[in-house]
Chain A
Amino acid sequence: MTGQTAFAAALLDPSAPVPEGLRDPFGGPAGKRFDVYRNNVAVSLTEALETGFPTVRRLVGDAYFKALAGVFLRAHPPSDPRLASWGTTFPGFVAGFPPLARLPYLADIARLDLGLRQSYHAADAAPFDTAGLAPAAVLALKPRLAPATLVLSSRHPVHGIWRFSHAPDAPKPAPGPEDVLIARAGYDPAPHLLPPGGLTFARALKGRLTLSEALTRALADHPGADAAALLTLFLTSGALTPDPA
């Protein structure tokens, strides 16, 4: 092994011996001095995950999250120095982590945390401004989903769990599937509960349909969908940007 291969391997394995050739300044073994580097790596990467997955952390508790992060960072260390984009494999890791099987919704909460962070760093886009336009003219437009807009579909009440974990006076989440729209008005992304038909509506807009056509599709898929509520959510959340064409 080359020097840095041995050094890196021992950094990530607390039970490994200190690599050969490292000394304290008095010629003795490096001992605890090597542990400073081990600690820096584990603590700084754990903090990056704590910042990146705040809701998962609240749900499992600080101590459990630290332990979970310690396992994840050794199995999936960052592939490049942009820590803001590290952790895309964390939801899958959570889903496959046997001790967390009793919290089946946790992986989707991790996806929601990740989506909020991706939205925060996404490219800026002009807001979709409909001021002064007649409703019929608005419905004929083909806005696009802004780069900071994401949709997430879950078999669990992820929006309710997210809200309850951040605002304890929020209603207790009720069991059942929920879809979430992540949208950024200005610079602050927020998760919104997608009403029935919302997923179809978002997909239709991605397919370059007009608002009117997208609503028609949403209503065809979900005859009970509330067209006005859907339109209001997408027009007021910052989810849309004008078609540049």
Chain B
Amino acid sequence: MLDTAAPRRLPLAAGLGYKPQHFAGLMADPGPVRWLEIHAENYLGAGGRPLAQLRALAERFPISVHGVGLSIGGERPLDADHLARLRHLCDWLQPASFSEHLAWSTHDTGFLNDLLPLPYTDATLARVCTHIDRVQEVLGRRMLLENPATYLAFAESDRTEVEFLSEIARRTGCGLLLDVNNVFVSATNQGWDARAYIDAFPLDAVGEIHLGGHDEDRDEHGRPLLIDSHGRPVVGAVWALYAHTLARGGPRPTLIEWDTDVPPLPTLMAEAARAGALLSPVEAAR
């Protein structure tokens, strides 16, 4: 049963992926940062500084809980213990949003700590929808599902990623988290048209946008291979794709993700301010 009366919402403004080294800075002066996102798996301990910081942040900022380990695309059933831990976190924190990935990360061998790809077929669609139904039932809230950054294709896929995500949203009632950098990375790696992807995307279902940086590599044939590293500024082409997305779909809470080689807070705030500047005229025009 879904609790559609979510207690809080993310604002139509820029947010930041939270890093503990920026706790004092954000508490002293958040600048353009209006909300924060945490990785759920870092806040499942019994106590200590992580939970103390999160409690203090939650008094100042709307919080988005972003899971990176639920393995919603996994062939195995969802890990009931992990889902119960996520529910505990959502119950005490009452976050403004909960999101996870269209990916898998756990198999019989264990937790592989990466967002692994899946083929887009009837069988995987049915499995993912069953898992999302379960997540929404246990958490008692609507979740957002994020589009992946992918590096390869499956011969057995028989529909596009956008068709696959649209059908998941339609069947389960879940919202979508549109990672615009992932769209750019996947489109480059897969030979898709990134704008056409956005134009076909069910933007009405989008509850949040992610922006981040990627690394550039090449495959063994010299073709570009972009890696979703979250370790650099958002590139110009992704800012342009983001502006295109806003123009088509309207403003959405937008997160700056920077997870490796994390820079000082002012650098992150500058990225957030840039997203905010693109968001506010759209918001003002509506």
Contact = CB atoms under 8 A, between A and B. Distances in A.
B191 A122 contact: no
Contacts of A41: 112-114
Interface residues of B, number: 51
A9 B108 CA distance: 10
B46 interface: yes
Contact of B113 (A3, A5, A36, A45): A45
B111 A148 contact: no
Interface string A111-143: 000000000111110000000000000000000
Contact of A121 (B50, B110, B191, B225): B50
A23 B151 contact: no
B48 A121 contact: yes
Contacts of B192: 25
A202 B262 CA distance: 41
A85 B68 CA distance: 16
Nearest to A79: B110
B189 interface: yes
19 contacts: A2-B75, A3-B119, A21-B154, A21-B155, A23-B152, A23-B153, A30-B152, A32-B220, A34-B151, A36-B225, A36-B227, A45-B112, A77-B110, A81-B68, A81-B70, A85-B45, A121-B48, A123-B46, A124-B47
Which 9 pairs from chain A and chain B are nearest by CB?
Answer: A81-B69, A77-B110, A121-B45, A187-B49, A123-B46, A124-B47, A8-B107, A123-B47, A33-B152
Interface of B: 41-42, 44-52, 68-71, 74-75, 79, 81-82, 85, 104-114, 116-117, 119, 151-156, 189-192, 219-221, 223, 225, 227
Given A77-B110, A78-B110, A187-B49, 15 more contacts: A4-B75, A5-B75, A5-B107, A7-B116, A8-B112, A24-B153, A33-B225, A37-B114, A77-B112, A80-B82, A81-B82, A83-B113, A84-B41, A84-B45, A121-B45
